[in-house]
Amino acid sequence: MREIDVALLSRELDAVHGKGHLAVVIDVLRASTTMVTALENGADRIIPLKCIDEARARRAEKPHFLLGGERDAKRPKDFDLGNSPLEYCKRKVEGKSIIMTTTNGTAAIEAASRAGADTIIVGALLNRSAVVEYCRGRQESVLLVCAGTRGRFSLEDAVCAGAIIKGLGSHTQLSDAARVCLTLYEAFGKNSLTNEIMASRHGRYLQEIGYGKDIEFATRMDRSPIVPLYHEGEIRALETAAVEAKI
């Protein structure tokens, strides 16, 4: 029976031995959604970095790379792109390498790597079915890593974790946190996710600063066949047959 655990905040990984785990990093609003979208639209690779100064230094070394990300959900003035998935259209990103730094998502990827996870992928509602299919094809225990928002619990990430757990089926052994996430997802239901996430703390903030359409986009479940795989400091796309691409 497959074991499934959830870190409701990435800082919990400091107490987790990741060896033997497949880690799925989740930051629905918005880093993981944006990464899936960028790769779906033809980006060659994404280099996720926790520190904004490191991202700027890497861009100075690679001036032909795009620099994307956010702080306080807003695009820094010297960046090419922010953290809105709607910015990462084919015209802008196809064939490009992207250096990305965000407040929560890229830090969660670094935390999963530091914890020693055997495999690290990026999950969102957008590619939920593709992530489920990928996990089913692996033997490791699954560790879902919720990025959270500035060190606090985020409803949208926990609901996404629950959606993935639901997809993995009943022949699993769930941790307490995994059971909570599954219950949360089942309580909301697929059809009400957009409204529930709009009402979340981070959802309200994004609407206040003009990114309400990002939430609508991020809550479109099972639309992308892309599984972003993190390996040796880079994220590249794996494509599954889980769904037909609709982005």
- Burial class of residue 63 in the structure, from the number of CB atoms within 10 Å of its CB (0-12 exposed, 13-18 middle, 19+ buried): exposed
What's the distance, CA 187 to chain centroid? 22
> What's the residue count for the chain?
247
Examine the pLDDT at 98 and tell me if it is beyond 70.
yes
Over residues 110-133, mean pLDDT: 97
What's the distance, CA 233 to chain centroid? 16
Examine the pLDDT at 242 and tell me if it is beyond 90.
no
Task: Report which secondary-structure segment, H or E, holds 50.
Answer: none
What is the number of H-type helices and E-type strands within the chain?
A: 10, 10
Over residues 190-201, mean pLDDT: 92
Residue type, 226: I
Contacts of 82 (CB under 8 A, 6+ apart): 68, 69, 70, 74, 75
Give the whole-number percent of the chain exceeding pLDDT 90: 91
**pLDDT value, residue 240:** 63
> What's the CA gap between 76 and 59, in Å, rounded?
14
Strands 119-123 and 226-231: antiparallel
**Are 238 and 227 contacting, i.e. CB atoms less than 8 angstroms apart?**
yes
**pLDDT value, residue 170:** 87
Residue 182: band (very low, low, confident or very high) from pLDDT cuts 50, 70, 90: very high
Over residues 219-225, mean pLDDT: 97
- Burial class of residue 209 in the structure, from the number of CB atoms within 10 Å of its CB (0-12 exposed, 13-18 middle, 19+ buried): exposed
Examine the pLDDT at 236 and tell me if it is beyond 50.
yes
Q: Which domains can be identified in the chain, with CATH numbers? A: 2-235 (3.90.1560.10)
Examine the pLDDT at 4 and tell me if it is beyond 70.
yes
Token code pair at residue 114: 């530091």
Contacts of 200 (CB under 8 A, 6+ apart): 154, 155, 156
Only one residue has tokens 């994404």, namely 46
Digit-coded pLDDT (tens) for 30-86 = 999 999 999 999 999 999 999 999 999 999 999 999 999 999 999 999 999 999 999
Global confidence as pTM: 0.95
> What's the CA gap between 80 and 97, in Å, rounded?
12
Residue type, 209: I
**pLDDT value, residue 17:** 85
Examine the pLDDT at 23 and tell me if it is beyond 70.
yes
**pLDDT value, residue 189:** 79
Strands 226-231 and 234-239: antiparallel
